[in-house]
Structure 1
Amino acid sequence: MIKTRFAPSPTGELHVGGARTALFSYLFAKNRAGEFLLRIEDTDRERFVEGATERIIDSLKWLGIVADNINQPIVQSKRLDLYRKAAFDLVNAGKAYICTCSKEKLAADRERQKNAGLPPRYEGHCRDAKIDLKTLADGCYTVRMKMPQSGKIIVNDLIRGKVEFDAALQDDQIILKSDGFPTYHLASVIDDFDSKITHVIRSEEWLSSTPKHLILYEMFGWPTPEFAHLSMILGHDHSKLSKRHGATSIIEYKKLGYLSEALVNFMALLGWNPKDEREIFSLTELTGEFSLDNVNKSDAIFDIEKLNYFNSERLKNLPFEKLKKLIGEFGISDPRDGELALIQRGGYKTVKEAADYIIRLRENSKYDPQLLIFKKSDKEKTLVGLQAAADKLSTIASDWTEENLQEILESVVADNNLSNGDVFWPIRVALSGEEKSPSPIELLLALGKDESIKRITKAIHKSG
């Protein structure tokens, strides 16, 4: 069975890069009727953030990227004895060693290497030393793996193909830290083997560490999983992705009024390509079509306008009940069908933006009476148009519909020898209080009969 995993560190919020890794791992497994697991890699205690694990899980659930063990994820801090035993098994087998080098000594080595123009690396001071563990106090040593000192290490990556590394340039990586916690390298290899992970899909930043992981698998005598390293996600200017490009945490996107379906759709296209012109996909559709064969090697470009487009398109097609629930989270209680229809006409990037407009519309903002007069009209024609419209709209008993409202306003134009600008423009301003707004028909439907006539009457008084 195919098994993948997502293994975030709870050092902060889940962002687009991590969420895309989770999505691709999920899609790859589910496309092949496999399992997708969640593992919390909380061994970096200095950077651990309280509550981050729960927020990462909440983010994944909101996106619909639900691991098969979502309610009982693997937690590395609960498996410390297992990692320690494995590390010392390697020491006893001569494949790893105890290192007592101080932080000061290592810092001095790095400074000297830097001044000499050499890459920073451990110089192997303790590699062949005979160190008796019984003479050492806890916290004053680490355990390092013995990397081969010659030859090539080949990574057969499912996205990048064959990648060669010179073993002589690889560091003797620390696998057990002085605090007794394992490093990522040891813990991830052990957990992937224990969980029977068949495919490791992760960020490109881990490609350079993969030779060490392959050697660890070899040291333990375990079969290696397949590896696939995803490209970087860059800003539109090809620089490192940051908030200035519109990137933020998954939870923040939710707070801003983005739909999870739109965000998943957007993230899927950050590196994956369906090989045709289609852009809109549901999670189910993505699951059915996803393949690593269609994942690009080149860096993906984050375009916030593309995300806004996906979100706006989905917002227009939401059922009224779901839309009502969503805008309720942004302060809109008991929305009228006309208000919901106004949102569905389009033009709003997010639920929050749409809700903010409805709130503003309900508040009936102040405006300069001069704004009521269309540029090709005058005050007299404007007043005639507003009064005639108010009179006709007042006669509607129950047929407050788009077709009837359109017909009434057109009759006001024809019956009073006016232009559309003499009628439609001042009504739109009277209802919205703004120069740029939805059409008067959409506003009449959104506000309802009583409020619409009230605002038109008020506009007549303001212009009189």
Structure 2
Amino acid sequence: MSSVVTRFAPSPTGYLHIGGARTALFSYLYAKRFGGKFLLRIEDTDRERSTQEAVDAIFEGMAWLGLKSDFAEIYQTQRFDRYREVVQQMLAAGTAYYCYASKEELDQMRAEQMARKEKPRYDGRWRPERDKVLPAPPEGVQPVVRFRNPPDGQVVLKDLIKGEIVFDNKELDDLIIARADGVPTYNFCVVVDDWDMGITHVIRGDDHVNNTPRQINILKALGATPPEYAHVSMILGADGAKLSKRHGALSVTEYRAMGFMPEALLNYLVRLGWSHGDQELFTRQEMIEKFDFDHVSASPARFDMEKAYWVNHQYLKITDPAIVVPEFDWHLRRLGVDPASGPALAPVIEQQRERCRTLVEMAEKSKFFYAELDGYNEKDAAKHLTAEGAALLTELAAALEALPEWTAPALHVAVNGFAEGRGLGLGKVAQPIRVAVVGMAISPPIDQTLFLLGRDRTLARLKAAVAYVQNKS
């Protein structure tokens, strides 16, 4: 295969949503599988609706997902001179023409067509034809430029996902490629960009299928070879309805805030419509090596938030903690916690990941390692921080203070030995300790918890819990 070049070309009129992220991922994986290039292009010609905030959100989301463009940033608004140059070439070649029809004329034309039960379409009134005499251009009217679409024949689209789709040219009217103010239109800009940038494969949502024959005809009029096309089906909610926020139609950055790992989100997205046997979990390299369009379904995919959480949890359980550290750090800081004020993050991740589906949950449950307790769980304190519990904690604090080394094995021996020496099950001792040092009766194994918390913090909290019981009584 010749060098593959794909592109992801969002319009910055909103956030980078989950459907766009999947399209970007498919484009990225296909290019990388064949040693090609992946390009990010900001299609910002809709200047009224495009915002810098949306541009920033797209770049932030793409960077977080690790879908890096192989080219410098590209904005359509920086290419207007090039679009105007191509419009002039087409006017000179006769593949485009000026149209002076007013909005009122066009509205009346469509109303009459609909009254006759015809498909509303431009009737070619300003289209130059042999032996056709056009009226003189009206004074003071700025014309639009229309593409001279072939009147006969067909466009045969061999879609890599949907198969062959045939369009009759007579069903495609002469679309506007430049507005009266000279601003080029979306379908025209896309064509010139794909041509100039050597795009070999256009991978996009199937809401663009009807644009494709028009774009192919413009490319052919320019003497260009059209790229191959793959139109990806839409994503539905788990209930089969159109994807909405309640299903998970959120921005990529919201998924970060919800505690997803970027690789986990990519893994979930790649499985929305694509499969490789029964395999559920893929490394990025495996995605690159195995992705193809033969196994992308033409049917809509269904988004299942529970499954997304499951995938995220699997990633947290199997990923090298060092890879999770930057994201865990980010979540702790969002809670107002300084990760430098406690143990190294990697061992905390290792202890917490079995019981946490998200990094939000992990950060909340690990806050006690880094920040002072802001109280005790009321129910747990009532059960375990009693006079009997305080007596045990007083004795235990003295035993722990005498330990020559503060290691998990030494703490394991000390706590177990303390319980056995008093004829108590481990839970009778471990639970009051947990409430004292964690604030609740749930934590990683008690020896690991105390080891990571450190000698000074552990002893201070044991003594504070004793004081809490005494003050209460």
Measure, in 2, the Cα distance between the counterparts of 1:352 and 1:378: 28
| Higher alpha-carbon deviation: 105-114 or 236-245 | 105-114
Matching of residue 426 in structure 1 with residue 428 in structure 2:
no
Q: Is the 8 A contact 2:385 2:465 kept in 1?
A: no
Partner of 1:305: 306
Aligned-residue Cα RMSD (Å) equals 3.2
Q: What is the deviation of 1:115?
A: 7.6
Amino acid at match of 1:253: Y
Distance 1:363 1:112, change over 3 A: farther
Q: Is the 8 A contact 1:6 1:37 kept in 2?
A: yes
Matching of residue 99 in structure 1 with residue 99 in structure 2:
yes
Q: Is the 8 A contact 2:156 2:167 kept in 1?
A: yes
Q: Is the 8 A contact 1:261 1:283 kept in 2?
A: yes
| Higher alpha-carbon deviation: 252-261 or 38-47 | 252-261
Structure 2, unaligned stretches of length 5 or more? none
Matching of residue 382 in structure 1 with residue 389 in structure 2:
yes
What is the aligned counterpart of 1:130 among 121, 129, 134?
134
1:322-378 Cα offsets, whole Å, 9 max, x none, are: 55544443243315437643333313344344334333563313236763465xx99
Partner of 1:185: 187
Q: Is the 8 A contact 2:154 2:168 kept in 1?
A: yes
Partner of 1:354: 362
Partner of 1:367: 376
What is the aligned counterpart of 2:6 among 4, 17, 33?
4
Q: What is the deviation of 1:292?
A: 1.6
Q: What is the deviation of 1:158?
A: 0.7
Structure 2 SS opposite 1:164: strand
TM-score normalized with structure 1 length: 0.85
Structure 2 SS opposite 1:162: strand
Q: What is the deviation of 1:298?
A: 1.5
Q: What is the deviation of 1:321?
A: 5.3
Amino acid at match of 1:395: A
Amino acid at match of 1:26: Y
Q: What is the deviation of 1:157?
A: 0.3
Partner of 1:280: 281
1:53-75 Cα offsets, whole Å, 9 max, x none, are: 45433432332222221x2x443
Q: Is the 8 A contact 2:45 2:185 kept in 1?
A: yes
Structure 1 SS opposite 2:86: helix
Measure, in 2, the Cα distance between the counterparts of 1:324 and 1:368: 28
Q: What is the deviation of 1:382?
A: 3.4
What is the aligned counterpart of 1:407 among 381, 405, 413?
413
TM-score normalized with structure 2 length: 0.84
Measure, in 1, the Cα distance between the counterparts of 2:173 and 2:368: 61
Aligned residues: 456
Matching of residue 444 in structure 1 with residue 453 in structure 2:
no
Distance 1:430 1:306, change over 3 A: same
Matching of residue 392 in structure 1 with residue 399 in structure 2:
yes
Structure 1, unaligned stretches of length 5 or more? none
| Higher alpha-carbon deviation: 197-206 or 119-128 | 119-128
| Higher alpha-carbon deviation: 224-233 or 349-358 | 349-358
Q: Is the 8 A contact 1:156 1:227 kept in 2?
A: yes
| Higher alpha-carbon deviation: 38-47 or 107-116 | 107-116
Matching of residue 197 in structure 1 with residue 190 in structure 2:
no
Distance 1:292 1:281, change over 3 A: same
1:121-175 Cα offsets, whole Å, 9 max, x none, are: 4344444672656x6657x322222334555432110111111234343333222
Partner of 1:223: 225
Structure 2 SS opposite 1:155: strand
Q: Is the 8 A contact 2:29 2:288 kept in 1?
A: yes
Distance 1:154 1:461, change over 3 A: same
Measure, in 2, the Cα distance between the counterparts of 1:171 and 1:325: 53
Q: Is the 8 A contact 1:2 1:199 kept in 2?
A: yes
Measure, in 1, the Cα distance between the counterparts of 2:20 and 2:227: 20
User: What are the residue-to-residue correspondences of 1:102-251 with 2, within 5 Å?
Assistant: 102-107=102-107, 120-127=120-127, 130=134, 137=140, 140-149=142-151, 151-251=153-253
1:284-321 Cα offsets, whole Å, 9 max, x none, are: 22222221212121212223333333333434456565
Q: Is the 8 A contact 1:338 1:442 kept in 2?
A: no
Q: Is the 8 A contact 1:97 1:143 kept in 2?
A: yes
Q: Is the 8 A contact 1:339 1:358 kept in 2?
A: no
Q: What is the deviation of 1:215?
A: 1.9
Measure, in 2, the Cα distance between the counterparts of 1:298 and 1:96: 37
Q: Is the 8 A contact 2:258 2:359 kept in 1?
A: yes
